[in-house]
């Protein structure tokens, strides 16, 4: 079972990976947007990590607070969607003090559906959904076949990379990239990259020896 410490550790791991990739994300965004994606993602994860680090709350409440903080600190389109994603995961968990990997999959699905509801996009639109969707599917499938969580997450991470690669060949139809239309084919999407980096952070936590994820 996982708890508040798992949530804090995972958020911190993702924040670290986003920080490392911040300039790269801004470069991707500059090619078909206004070039501030890295700044927003970095600020959102840093601030929400800092906030929850010293809070003594249930894991659901921590995610709730982190999501609300993210929306305030990084209110770009993707920043808002990321905040809503994190918050929805917390809402799914409610007051539980501990949660299972199955709970985690349900949280991820709830968060994913929130992005669809608010962003009004679908997989195949060259957005963050294109890396998150295959990742969640792969984790769910592996879990259904009895694979341990660590392996499910590793497979999810691989699937997110494949999804990202696939989305690079697609044409953007949402947000500022949509104004570049055909020109976006072959360009790597910043949002899909963020989705992959989330899985990278999760995988990093899961892969640490002695970590309680398994």
Partner 1 sequence: MKKFINAAKDYVPEYLEGIILAHGDRLALAEDNGRALVRRNPVPGKVAIVTGGGSGHLPLFLGYVGDGLADACAVGNVFASPSYISMVSAAKAVESGAGVLYLFGNYGGDRMNFDMAAEELNSEGVETCQVWCTDDVASAPKEKSENRRGVAGIVFVYKAAGAAAARMLPLAEVVRIAKKANAHTRSMGVSMSACTLPEIGKPSFTIDEGEMEVGMGIHGEPGVTRGKIMPADEVAEILVSNITKDMEYPSGSRVAVLINLLGGTCLEEGYIVYRKIHSLLLALGIEPVGVRVGEYSTSMEMAGVSLSMMLLDDELESLLFDAASTPFVVFEQNRG
Site residues for partner 1 per CB under 8 A:
26, 30, 33-36, 39-40, 68, 71-72, 75-77, 79-81, 118-120, 174-176, 179-180, 183
Min CB(24)–partner 1 separation in Å: 13
Q: Residue 50 half-sphere exposure, CB side, CA atoms within 13 Å?
A: 9
Min CB(184)–partner 1 separation in Å: 11
Min CB(35)–partner 1 separation in Å: 4
Strand partners, 99: 2
Min CB(98)–partner 1 separation in Å: 30
Considering beta carbons, is residue 166 or 180 the nearer one to partner 1? 180
Considering beta carbons, is residue 43 or 61 the nearer one to partner 1? 43
Q: How far is Cα 169 from Cα 172, in angstroms, rounded to an integer?
A: 10
Considering beta carbons, is residue 4 or 167 the nearer one to partner 1? 167
Considering beta carbons, is residue 81 or 139 the nearer one to partner 1? 81
Considering beta carbons, is residue 19 or 165 the nearer one to partner 1? 19
Min CB(32)–partner 1 separation in Å: 9
Considering beta carbons, is residue 71 or 159 the nearer one to partner 1? 71
Other beta carbons within 10 Å of 26: 20
Min CB(92)–partner 1 separation in Å: 19
Q: How far is Cα 112 from Cα 18, in angstroms, rounded to an integer?
A: 19
């Amino acid at each position: 079972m996982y708890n508040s410490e798992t949530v804090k550790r995972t958020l911190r791991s993702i924040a670290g990976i986003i920080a490392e990739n911040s300039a790269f994300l801004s470069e991707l965004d500059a090619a078909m947007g206004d070039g501030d994606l890295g700044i927003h993602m970095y600020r959102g994860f840093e601030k929400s990590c800092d906030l929850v680090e010293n809070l003594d709350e249930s894991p659901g409440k921590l995610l709730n607070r982190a999501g609300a903080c993210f929306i305030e600190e990084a209110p770009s389109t993707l920043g808002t969607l990321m905040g809503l994603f994190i918050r929805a995961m917390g809402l799914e968990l409610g007051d539980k003090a501990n949660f299972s990997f199955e709970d985690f999959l349900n949280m991820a699905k709830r968060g994913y559906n929130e992005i669809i509801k608010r962003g009004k996009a679908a997989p195949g639109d060259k957005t963050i959904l294109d890396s998150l969707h295959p990742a969640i599917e792969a984790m769910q499938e592996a879990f259904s076949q009895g694979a341990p969580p660590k392996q499910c997450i590793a497979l999810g991470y691989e699937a997110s990379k494949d999804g990202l690669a696939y989305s690079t060949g697609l044409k953007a139809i949402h947000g500022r990239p949509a104004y570049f239309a055909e020109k976006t084919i072959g360009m790597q999407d910043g949002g899909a990259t963020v989705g992959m980096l989330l899985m990278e952070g999760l995988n990093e936590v899961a892969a640490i020896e002695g970590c309680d994820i398994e």
